[in-house]
């Protein structure tokens, strides 16, 4: 009976191990370059002068960012601007997100359970804008050169 030649399989195993090690070392560098990030998705924007209740909007994450600005105050010190986040399911007020006086701008972050929301705006003696955005988890890759 003839003995099989075992040299060919040994070489192929060594080549496969080498390729696997090379692939693992290169893949780790690419994965290490990826970093967690947040992407902000627009849910709605509104503007006005005086009080308003927005139409409902759905947040799948509950992570909200409200960008707001007030301007054109009728008389210095008389402008009022408040934004309350409400549950659209129950109508219940969840959080007073903005309580400002006069002309200004800012960003407010709200963390709630995912659901449908609406904003109740109280305003007097100034023009205002507010935009709601939802934070969505993402992964940022390396920057192309």
Domain for residue 17, yes or no?
no
pLDDT at 53 exceeding the cut of 90: yes
Domain for residue 11, yes or no?
no
Domain for residue 103, yes or no?
yes
Comparing 23-32, 80-89, 111-120, the range with the smallest average pLDDT is 23-32
For residue 140, what pLDDT is reported?
85
E strands in the chain: 35-49, 52-53, 57-59, 63-71, 80-87, 93-101, 104-111, 115-124, 127-140
**Tokens for 41?**
């998705």
Q: How far apart are CA 60 and CA 116, in angstroms?
A: 9
Q: Which residue would you say has higher pLDDT here, 38 or 18? A: 38
pLDDT at 118 exceeding the cut of 90: yes
Task: Decide if 125 contacts 79 (C-beta within 8 A).
Answer: yes
Percent of the chain with pLDDT over 70: 76
Domain for residue 22, yes or no?
no
Domain for residue 131, yes or no?
yes
Domain for residue 1, yes or no?
no
Exposure of 46 by Cβ count < 10 A (0-12 exposed, 13-18 middle, 19+ buried)? Answer: middle
For the chain, what is the domain count? 1
Q: Write out the DSSP string of 47-68.
A: EEES-EEPPPEEESS-EEEEEE
Domain for residue 19, yes or no?
no
Q: How far apart are CA 71 and CA 53, in angstroms?
A: 19
Domain for residue 44, yes or no?
yes
Q: Write out the DSSP string of 34-51.
A: -EEEEEEEEEEEEEEES-
Exposure of 98 by Cβ count < 10 A (0-12 exposed, 13-18 middle, 19+ buried)? Answer: buried
Q: What element of type H or E holds 18?
A: helix 7-33
Domain enclosing residue 93, as ranges: 36-140
The radius of gyration of the chain's CA atoms, rounded to the nearest angstrom, is 28
Give me the CATH number covering residue 61.
Answer: 2.60.120.380
């Amino acid at each position: 009976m003839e003995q099989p030649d075992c040299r060919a399989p040994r070489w192929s195993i060594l080549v496969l191990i080498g390729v696997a090690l090379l692939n693992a070392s290169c893949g780790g560098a690419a994965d290490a370059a990826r970093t967690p990030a947040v992407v902000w998705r627009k849910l709605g924007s509104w503007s006005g002068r005086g009080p308003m209740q927005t139409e409902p909007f759905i947040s799948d994450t509950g992570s909200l960012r409200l960008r707001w600005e007030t301007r054109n105050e009728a008389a210095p010190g008389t402008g009022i601007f408040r934004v309350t986040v409400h549950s659209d399911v129950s109508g219940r007020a969840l959080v007073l997100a903005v309580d400002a006086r006069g002309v200004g701008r800012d960003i407010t972050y709200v963390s709630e359970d995912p659901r449908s929301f609406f904003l109740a705006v109280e305003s007097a003696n100034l023009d205002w804008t507010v935009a709601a955005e939802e934070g969505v988890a993402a992964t940022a890759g390396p920057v192309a050169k």
